[in-house]
Homo-oligomer: A and B are copies of this chain.
Amino acid sequence: MLVRAMNTTRSGHPAVTRPDGTPLRVLVVDDDPDLAEVLSGALRYEGWRVRTAGDGASALAEARELMPDAVVLDVMLPDTDGFAVLRSLHEVTPDVCVLFLTARDAVEDRIAGITAGGDDYVTKPFSLEEVVARVRGLLRRAGIARRQEDGPRLTVGDLVMDEEAREVTRAGELIELSPTEFELLRLLMRNPRRVLSKAQILDRVWSYDFGGRAHVVELYISYLRKKVDAGREPMIHTVRGAGYVLKPVAR
């Protein structure tokens, strides 16, 4: 039936859950409320339980209460710096995974030192698809996540994407994609047979501060077609006035 089970995402595909089947718990820490809202929306959409905090102090308080599996943590906070928060976090929840949000010019070496422990980071501005993918990766590698499906592989028809290796093949043939093309295709493959509007695509694949227009989506769809559909039976379809769909070739 359609009553939502705990382990189903809003989008309907099977959710990544904790080993006991309860939803994963994620804490978002960022002092920009709009950004925190957007992030938490995207993570909630994965079927996860999300809380937010705006500074280090309340982050710790929330963490104590929520006992999160993962934390999405802005390195620049008003009261403390992210690394101090990280240390305290690990005291509260030792096994927690952390995804850092950082400005591009931030000291990359310090980050590198921290991420050695299995944590990860993305630089602002980032796309939501990217953040979500990273969090999923973290959890999976940490062994916290139990995936309902196969593994780190997405399959639609004869199109296969290995997210970890960042490798895509169609009918066994390797397809080389640029970062943006890869992200766009991932979004499409995570929503097969579902029409996605250009705005939805823009919101998830391009970074939140992107000012441009939906025209780029058309452009990148065109790139993808040249690589994914090249000569073969097309899988990427335009639905005029509605958006784009990825479908396995008709039976």
User: A118 vs B109: C-alpha distance in the bound complex, in angstroms?
Assistant: 36
Binary contact readout A102-142 vs B (1 if CB under 8 angstroms, 0 otherwise): 00000111011111111101000000100000000000111
Partner pick for A195 among B34, B108, B164, B202, CB 8 A cutoff: B164
A41 within 8 A of B: yes
Partner pick for A203 among B1, B114, B199, CB 8 A cutoff: B114
Interface footprint category on A: 35 or more
Whether the Cβ atoms of A8 and B143 lie closer than 8 Å is yes
Residues of B within 8 A of A19 (CB): 3
A4 to chain B, nearest CB (A): 2
User: A118 vs B42: C-alpha distance in the bound complex, in angstroms?
Assistant: 8
Binary contact readout A210-251 vs B (1 if CB under 8 angstroms, 0 otherwise): 110110000000000000000000000001111001010010
Whether the Cβ atoms of A87 and B199 lie closer than 8 Å is no
Binary contact readout A190-208 vs B (1 if CB under 8 angstroms, 0 otherwise): 0001110101101110101
Residues of B within 8 A of A29 (CB): none
A189 within 8 A of B: no
User: A214: nearest residue on chain B (CB-CB)?
Assistant: B108
Partner pick for A202 among B2, B112, B143, CB 8 A cutoff: B112
Q: Which residues of A contact B (CB under 8 A)?
A: 1-4, 8, 10-12, 19, 33-34, 37-38, 40-42, 44-45, 83, 86-87, 90, 107-109, 111-119, 121, 128, 140-147, 151, 162, 164-167, 174, 178-179, 193-195, 197, 199-200, 202-204, 206, 208-211, 213-214, 239-242, 245, 247, 250
Supply 5 A–B pairs (Cβ within 8 Å), ascending by A: A34-B87, A41-B118, A112-B209, A116-B128, A164-B193
Closest 3 CB pairs of A and B: A4-B143, A41-B117, A179-B241
